[in-house]
Structure 1
């Protein structure tokens, strides 16, 4: 009996799984939830249309999102390897350590990841995390927090320039939005580090800078060969890690993002009649998240200064895809339903969240920290809210 009890509670080192009874209460709860979810969606758009939408959305995500992320990861991986090979990462670590350590609790080298994601998208920072010349500056509990840091700045340049392009009166709000996103990123990373320290049983009092650590920070390894060979090897090896990353995030992006898209967007519009209609096209959905946002309007308006219910759609949509959220802005401006304050909040929350619900799972999986995914999402949800609030209050003070 004792042996059987021991077997029941054994955790596999290789799989991270444990043994339980074949059929339990969670089996029936799971079946009930799955059936209720599918029946709810099928009742709105029809069972046949529902499965068609799921397949078309997943297919489109694979072709237009995953491969795009893979392409960015390959380029970012090559850039990361070059920066490490020629000592740029080491230089950044020394220069920015004075800022990054007190603000984020991360080494100065992490600024390279933040800059890269600002210029591209969230997953770009994962390529850095696969580079040993980069991760040597990090303790084990700090590496999962790179997911939150990178996501906080994902598509930052695109979001900022897009908001500025809407008119001169939106230049200052966009800049304020960037400041709000930085504040949100600090909150998100700090909360995440609290969870990761507990997860890795990190004891600050027992951690001290050893002689080996100082040697690692003072010296770096370089590849053999002449300058041309080193450049070529660094780019190819870094790009190869980007391909591996692109493959690793396929399940997370397709499964989670498909669900988020269905809950975020509504039916298509018939061009002939102008009525809403379900055709089975990719990204059609039941628009449940915007409905929830409308119910929470009494909370969101005082926090972010929104003057219309429609404005809530931007941060809600940013949960799944900030690119889709940006497409709402021109119409909002044309309908005069948003103000410059809203643009500041949109920039902060769009940049800080940048579709994290659809990327966090894949990113945490690529970081080998799947067990911390829920903690990363909770941390970043709070960080994005703080980003929007900060932008709103800063705007009120300055304007």
Structure 2
């Protein structure tokens, strides 16, 4: 009886919230124009943004798989290993997780952590912090390639560096919170067997023909890229459409026509109230820019879809691209993945601490990107 009442109350709250939101938008735009704008925006995003992102996903997926097949990932893991302990307080093998998530997406760190040999290198508090560590590099290659495709190069590299800084903050914050809540996790081994195996190079089975290995790697990686491209469709169409309606204003003549990318200009109006804060911390020069980090909380693919329109309107500059790259990589839709990731590790109760830590990490990444761009400007 109690559960039934709770469901009814939640249903009423949900219905009232949705009705209030669309009533507010429809009151300003007109119901017919609002519906037309939503459908036209979603359709345009599907054709001109999703398929473009899917193309990037396919190509980067193929490259990533090729790197795995021919040992480039192992080489990168070996080069990055010395940085793991001093920066992230993680064993050297964790660098493999950073490379894998950079080439694919956040959940890659979870599939890797399920390997008993991999997890044997970690204490429990380190093992749990892999959620934050891996998320900070999720879809990194896709984000950087996308930004380079928009005509920028130095700025995405600055963003990559800043995302690494945010990752350090997020990972170490999470480790601090875990040890504070569960002191025994500081000494307990992640796999519970009390043994830590000697780190070894990850071995990959090799086929005799280099041609077949190359062909299979490219095709398998491209297929995985299609899966990633399909996975970003809901986020782009749902989240980006809503954010754009809340970000853009009326048509060029000041009236609503039901065309794509019209809206009620709510987010920039609210951002104007804190313009001094966003300008000081992140160097934002236009209130519309705040829409990117808000969208990146749920889906970085959806956030990327904002960039072409922002560029077309002249709302963003090189500093914004660096900040977007940093916060897009570091957050990479963590609100929609952290719960599932920690649940799969068996530590769902620590989700709140992980989200709080990663929020701090993403803001740090954005701030570091802005500061680095200022330093580059002085040089």
TM-score, normalised relative to structure 2: 0.71
Q: 1:366 to 1:211 in 2, by over 3 A?
A: closer
* Match in the other structure for 2:45: 61
* Match in the other structure for 1:87: 71
- Equivalent positions of 1:147-158 (< 5 A) are 147-150=135-138, 155-156=143-144
SS at the partner of 1:108?
helix
SS at the partner of 1:283?
coil
Post-superposition offset of 1:37: 0.3
Query: Does 2:231 match 1:248?
Result: yes
Query: Quick one: distance in 2 between partners of 1:326 and 1:195?
Result: 39
Q: Which of 319, 344, 350 in structure 1 is aligned with 2:324?
A: 350
Query: Does 2:200 match 1:217?
Result: yes
- Equivalent positions of 1:1-399 (< 5 A) are 21=5, 23-104=7-88, 107-113=94-100, 116=103, 124-125=104-105, 137=118, 141=128, 142=130, 145-150=133-138, 155-156=143-144, 159=147, 179-188=161-170, 190=172, 203-207=185-189, 214=197, 217-269=200-252, 275-304=253-282, 310-317=285-292, 319-320=294-295, 321-322=303-304, 324-325=306-307, 328=310, 343-344=318-319, 346-354=320-328, 381-393=359-371, 399=378
The answer to whether the 8 Å contact 2:272/2:287 transfers is yes
Q: 1:355 to 1:377 in 2, by over 3 A?
A: farther
Q: What are the superposed Cα offsets for residues 294-338 of structure 1, whole Å, 9 maximum, x if unpaired? A: 1112433443466xxx534324345443564576569769xxxx9
Q: 1:195 to 1:254 in 2, by over 3 A?
A: farther
The answer to whether the 8 Å contact 2:131/2:342 transfers is no
Q: 1:254 to 1:316 in 2, by over 3 A?
A: closer
Query: Quick one: distance in 2 between partners of 1:239 and 1:353?
Result: 26
Query: Quick one: distance in 2 between partners of 1:150 and 1:293?
Result: 27
Q: What are the superposed Cα offsets for residues 264-295 of structure 1, whole Å, 9 maximum, x if unpaired? A: 222221xxxxx222222222222211111111
Q: 1:38 to 1:303 in 2, by over 3 A?
A: same
Q: What are the superposed Cα offsets for residues 115-159 of structure 1, whole Å, 9 maximum, x if unpaired? A: 65xxxxxxx436966986997756874257533322567533664
TM-score, normalised relative to structure 1: 0.68
SS at the partner of 2:239?
helix
- 5+ residue gaps, structure 1, are 9-18, 117-123, 166-170, 270-274
Post-superposition offset of 1:32: 1.1
Post-superposition offset of 1:42: 0.2
The answer to whether the 8 Å contact 1:176/1:395 transfers is yes
The answer to whether the 8 Å contact 1:188/1:382 transfers is yes
The answer to whether the 8 Å contact 1:153/1:352 transfers is no
SS at the partner of 1:218?
coil
Post-superposition offset of 1:96: 0.5
Q: 1:397 to 1:364 in 2, by over 3 A?
A: closer
SS at the partner of 1:354?
helix
Query: Quick one: distance in 1 between partners of 2:228 and 2:241?
Result: 20
Query: Quick one: distance in 2 between partners of 1:149 and 1:387?
Result: 12
Query: Quick one: distance in 2 between partners of 1:198 and 1:238?
Result: 41
Greater mean deviation of Cα atoms: 324-333 or 59-68: 324-333
Q: 1:105 to 1:323 in 2, by over 3 A?
A: farther
Post-superposition offset of 1:40: 0.3
Query: Quick one: distance in 2 between partners of 1:215 and 1:101?
Result: 16
Q: What are the superposed Cα offsets for residues 332-359 of structure 1, whole Å, 9 maximum, x if unpaired? A: 69xxxx9xxx854x24421123399995
- 5+ residue gaps, structure 2, are 296-302
Q: What are the superposed Cα offsets for residues 174-227 of structure 1, whole Å, 9 maximum, x if unpaired? A: 87666444423433455567789999x993422169799747833513154422
SS at the partner of 1:278?
coil
